[in-house]
Amino acid sequence: MRHDESMQRDQLADFLRRRREAIRPAEVGLTDGPRRRTTGLRREEVAALAGMSTDYVVRLEQGRSSQPSTQLLGALARALRLSDDERNHLFHLAGHQPPPADGVARLARAGLLRMLDLLVDSPAMVLSDLGEVLAQNRMSLLVAGDQTRFTGDRRYLIYRWFTEPPMREVHPAGQSDHQSRQLVADLRAVAGRRSGDPTVEGLVRKLQAASAEFRRLWAEHEVAVRRADRKTLMNPRVGPLTMDCETLVTPDLGQQLLVLTPADAESRERLQLLQVLGTEEFTTPLPGE
């Protein structure tokens, strides 16, 4: 039986329409102006949040679309701020099995996304326990560029850090060793917690094969889950930003919300300048771009 034969088009259309109408614009960082005639989101707003065409959202809500891919469903789940149960229901209605445990971890949780929307002036992002960036707010994009675009092993910050030298340019040279140790110690904690997980074990094997520095640090068996830290980030448009990093971790330690706040007055002024420059095109690519 073909996959699309199990797609419940009418139920899917009704579910998507009702979830769209139930979301207040402010929940996803949009203004609720006086001319708005709908209580929820517009179709074009859902399309923009999910990174798809408005026409496809319309066809989904009218029950006349082709079967959406799992990638599109994940994007819709994020745009509509679906809970874990709602997300699984969405996959079933579309004729797909919900993602397995590792796949689910790659969809930012609704509660963290709502918190992300509230952080307008502070760079913030949602990460998986393996350091894959799942969602970013606008300020995070301005500070660090789009970190959600990577595929394969490059999704993981630790993999790029130990295999792509330009990644080191985002921090002053004197902070590289600290960053390396922190990344390895955090991966050690994940490996212990997810013992036997093929995704974690495969990542460790590839890093050991690719980097002598990683092999040396891994052998030291340091363990530390990231909580709070202070880092200096080298931004090509405004210069160094010294930021305090606070991390909110979900109860199962599967995802975390990372919030960056300026640690001094100079960094605060540079961050404000970056907000002003935000509407302009990037003239210099960020490391890893």
Q: What is the pLDDT of residues 238-278, one digit of tens each?
A: 999 999 999 988 887 889 999 999 999 999 999 999 988 87
Q: Tell me, yes or no, whether 189 and 251 share the same domain.
A: yes
pLDDT for 286 = 43
End-of-domain residue from the set 72, 99, 126: 99
Does residue 56 sit in the same domain as residue 116? Answer: no
Q: Mind giving me the DSSP string for 79-93? A: HTT--HHHHHHHHHH
Per-residue confidence (pLDDT) for residue 70, from 0 to 100: 87
Count of residues for the chain? 289
Q: What does the pLDDT read at residue 260? A: 95
pTM score above 0.75: no
CB 268 within 8 A of CB 241: no
Number of compact structural domains in the chain: 2
In 174-229, which ranges are continuous DSSP H helix? Answer: 176-193, 198-210, 212-219
Report the range out of 14-28, 89-103, 115-129 with the highest average pLDDT: 115-129
The pLDDT of residue 253: 81
> Are 73 and 161 contained in the same domain?
no
pLDDT for res 105 = 57
What single-letter DSSP state applies at residue 194? T
Q: Comparing 36-45, 206-215, 225-234, 272-281, which segment has the lowest mean pLDDT?
A: 272-281
pLDDT computed for residue 101 by the predictor: 53
State the chain's mean pLDDT as an integer.
85
Residue where one domain finishes, among candidates 99, 120, 136 = 99
Query: Within 70-175, where are the H helices?
Result: 70-79, 84-93, 101-105, 110-118, 138-144, 157-163
286 within domain boundaries: no
95 plus 149 within the same structural domain? no
Q: Is residue 202 scored above 90 in pLDDT? A: yes
What is the reported pLDDT for 287? 42
Closest by CA position to 86, among listed 126, 117, 120, 113: 113
Is the pLDDT confidence value at 95 over 70? yes
Pick 75 or 257 by higher pLDDT.
Answer: 257
Domain boundaries, position 228: 110-277
Residue 4 binned pLDDT confidence (cut-offs 50, 70, 90): low
Are 152 and 18 part of one and the same domain? no
In a domain, 105, yes or no: no
Give yes or no for a contact between 80 and 23, defined as CB atoms under 8 angstroms apart.
yes
Phi, psi of 254 (to 5 degrees): -80, -30
pLDDT value, residue 211: 97
What are the pLDDT digits (tens) for 143-200?
Answer: 988 898 888 899 999 999 999 999 998 888 888 999 999 999 999 999 998 888 888 9
What was the pLDDT predicted at 7? 87
Query: What's the confidence (pLDDT) of residue 281?
Result: 43
Residue at which a domain ends, from 58, 76, 99: 99
What is the model's pLDDT at position 158?
Answer: 96
218 pLDDT above the threshold of 80: yes
> By the 8 A CB rule, do 248 and 256 touch?
yes
Residue 107: the pLDDT is: 77
The confidence score (pLDDT) of residue 284 equals 37
Q: 135 versus 281: which is more confidently predicted?
A: 135
Verify that 187 and 259 share a domain, yes or no: yes
Band of residue 279 on the pLDDT scale cut at 50, 70, 90: very low
Instruction: Specify the CATH number for the domain of residue 268.
Output: 3.30.450.180
Rg over alpha carbons for the chain, rounded to the nearest Å, is: 20
